[in-house]
C-alpha cells in the first residue's frame, strides 16, 4: 500500500484493508493488538471534513450506538480520537452488506427474503420501543455476519416520538419515503416505507422507483400513482399484502408499526432466533406426554406447534453437525405427526359413523312425530355438509333451523303432558 494511502495509526489496533468510504468517513478492517487478534471494523472520520451538520450526525450515531445492545444491530465497541480523526470501533461483519448479497443472487426466494425481513423487523421493534428512528434504511446499511443481519450506520438516526415531525432531508433518495422527498412533515413511519422498498428489491431485483437519473426518480416518487408489483409477480398473499401496505404513499394510510410487527408475513413469533430451540423443546415434551396419554388430537396439535419452532431453529443453527442432528429429530417428529393425523382422521370417521347410525335410528323412531322428524332430517343435512368440508353460512342456517324445529317439538310435547296432567287432576 502506497505511503500516501496508508491507514492511520490507532492505539491498540492494526488497521489493514479499506472496506469503503463515504462523504466524511472511511471504514477499515482492523485487528486488536492482543493475543485474541479480534477482528473489528474501524470507522475513521476526519475532523477537517466535519461541518456542523455532519458533526451532529456523528455525535447522534455515537450516542445511540453506546446505549443500544441488540443481536441485529451493529455493536459499537469503543471510540477514540486524536488531533486529526475520530475513530468508531465497531463489530466486524464478515459477510458484506445486504445490497451485495441481493446482487449476487439477483433475486431472493420469498422464504429467504422473509427471514431477512424478520431480522430487520426485530431490530426495528427494539428501536421503536426506545423511540429511535433510523431514517436511512437501505441494503447498504444492513450488514451480514454469517446468516445474521445487523442494522448499521446510524448517522441520520433520531430519537423520535410518534408525534414528532421533521423537515430536514435525510437518507438515500431511492429508499426515501415520498413525504421526505416532497419536503413535507414526516415521522418515524418513513422507516416502514424504506423496509417496503428493501423487501421489494430483495424479491424482484430492483427498487420500485429504479431510475436512470435523479430527476426521473423524483418524478416517480412525487407521482400519485399507487405502487404496483411487477407483472406476473409470484408471491404469497401475505407477502403481497404487506408490500402494498408498506409502500403506501400516504403515511396516514400506511401500515402502522404495531400492525407491521404483528403481520402474518413478518411472524416474529416464529423467526429464527436463539430462543427457537427452547420453545420447540418445551412444546415437543408436552406433545410426547399427550401422545403417551393417548390424547391424539392434543398431541398432534402440540407436535405441529413444536415444528413451527424447530424449523426456524434449524435455520438459526450454524454448526453443521448440530444442524444435521436437528434435522433428523425433526424428521422423526414429522413422521409421528403424520401417523397421528391419520389416526385422528380415522377416529373422527368412526365417531361420525356412530353418530350417523344413531341419527338413523332416531329418524326411524320419529316417523309418527312430523316436527321431530323434520328437525332430525335437517340436522342430518347440516352434518353431511360439514363432513364434506363446507364451512359456510348455509350449514350454520341448517343447524339453526334444526334447533328451531326441536324447540317447537319440545314445546308441543310439554303442552301435551301439561294438558294430560290437568285432565287427570280433574277426573
* CA–CA dist 81, 12 (Å, integer): 13
3-state secondary structure of 61: helix
Catalytic status, residue 347: no
Between the two ends of the chain, the Cα-to-Cα distance in Å is 123
Calculate the dihedral angle through the C-alpha atoms of 37, 39, 41, 44, rounding to the nearest 10 degrees: 10
* CA–CA dist 305, 359 (Å, integer): 36
3-state secondary structure of 120: helix
Q: Confirm whether residue 413 is marked as ligand binding.
A: no
3-state secondary structure of 331: helix
**In the beta sheet, which residues pair with residue 31?**
14, 39
Sequence-separated contacts (24+) of 256-260 with Cβ below 8 Å: 256/189, 257/124, 257/125, 257/128, 257/188, 257/189, 257/192, 260/121, 260/192, 260/195
Residues 277 and 313: beta-carbon distance below 8 Å: yes
Active-site residue, from 82, 97, 136, 394: 136
Binding-site entries for ATP? 43
- Which residues does the annotation mark as catalytic? 136
Binding-site entries? 43
Amino acid at each position: 500500500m502506497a505511503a500516501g494511502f496508508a491507514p492511520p495509526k490507532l492505539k491498540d489496533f492494526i488497521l489493514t484493508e479499506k472496506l469503503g468510504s463515504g462523504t466524511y468517513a472511511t471504514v477499515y478492517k482492523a485487528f486488536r493488538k492482543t493475543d485474541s487478534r479480534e477482528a473489528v471494523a474501524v470507522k475513521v472520520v476526519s475532523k477537517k471534513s466535519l461541518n456542523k451538520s455532519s458533526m451532529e450526525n456523528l455525535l447522534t450515531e455515537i450516542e445511540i450506538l453506546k446505549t443500544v445492545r441488540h443481536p441485529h444491530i451493529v455493536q459499537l465497541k469503543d471510540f477514540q480520537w486524536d488531533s486529526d480523526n475520530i475513530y468508531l470501533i465497531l463489530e466486524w461483519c464478515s459477510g458484506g452488506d445486504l445490497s451485495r448479497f441481493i446482487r449476487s443472487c439477483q433475486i431472493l426466494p420469498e422464504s429467504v427474503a422473509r427471514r431477512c425481513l424478520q431480522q430487520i423487523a426485530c431490530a426495528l421493534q427494539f428501536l421503536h420501543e426506545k423511540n429511535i428512528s433510523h431514517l436511512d434504511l437501505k441494503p447498504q446499511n444492513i450488514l451480514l455476519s454469517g446468516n445474521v443481519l445487523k442494522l448499521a450506520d446510524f448517522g441520520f438516526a433520531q430519537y423520535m416520538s410518534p408525534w414528532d415531525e421533521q423537515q430536514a432531508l435525510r437518507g438515500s433518495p431511492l429508499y426515501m419515503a415520498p413525504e421526505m422527498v416532497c419536503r413535507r412533515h414526516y415521522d418515524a413511519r418513513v422507516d416502514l416505507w424504506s423496509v417496503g422498498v428493501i423487501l421489494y428489491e430483495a424479491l424482484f431485483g430492483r427498487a420500485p422507483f429504479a431510475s436512470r437519473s435523479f430527476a426521473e426518480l423524483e418524478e416517480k416518487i412525487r407521482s400519485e400513482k399507487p405502487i404496483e408489483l411487477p407483472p406476473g409477480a409470484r408471491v404469497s398473499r401475505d407477502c403481497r399484502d404487506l408490500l402494498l401496505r408498506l409502500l403506501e404513499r400516504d403515511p396516514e394510510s400506511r401500515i402502522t408499526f404495531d400492525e407491521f410487527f404483528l403481520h402474518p408475513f413478518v411472524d416474529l413469533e416464529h423467526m429464527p432466533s436463539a430462543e427457537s430451540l427452547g420453545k420447540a423443546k418445551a412444546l415437543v415434551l408436552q406433545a410426547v406426554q399427550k401422545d403417551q396419554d393417548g390424547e391424539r388430537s392434543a398431541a398432534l396439535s402440540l407436535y405441529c406447534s413444536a415444528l413451527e419452532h424447530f424449523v426456524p431453529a434449524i435455520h438459526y443453527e450454524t454448526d453443521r453437525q448440530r444442524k444435521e442432528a436437528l434435522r433428523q429429530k425433526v424428521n422423526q417428529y414429522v413422521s409421528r405427526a403424520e401417523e397421528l393425523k391419520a389416526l385422528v382422521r380415522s377416529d373422527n370417521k368412526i365417531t361420525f359413523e356412530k353418530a350417523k347410525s344413531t341419527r338413523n335410528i332416531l329418524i326411524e323412531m320419529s316417523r309418527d312425530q312430523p316436527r321431530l322428524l323434520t328437525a332430525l332430517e335437517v340436522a342430518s343435512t347440516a352434518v353431511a355438509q360439514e363432513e364434506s368440508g363446507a364451512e359456510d353460512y348455509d350449514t350454520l342456517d341448517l343447524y339453526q333451523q334444526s334447533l328451531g324445529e326441536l324447540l317447537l317439538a319440545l314445546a308441543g310435547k310439554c303442552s301435551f303432558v301439561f294438558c294430560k296432567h290437568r285432565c287427570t287432576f280433574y277426573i
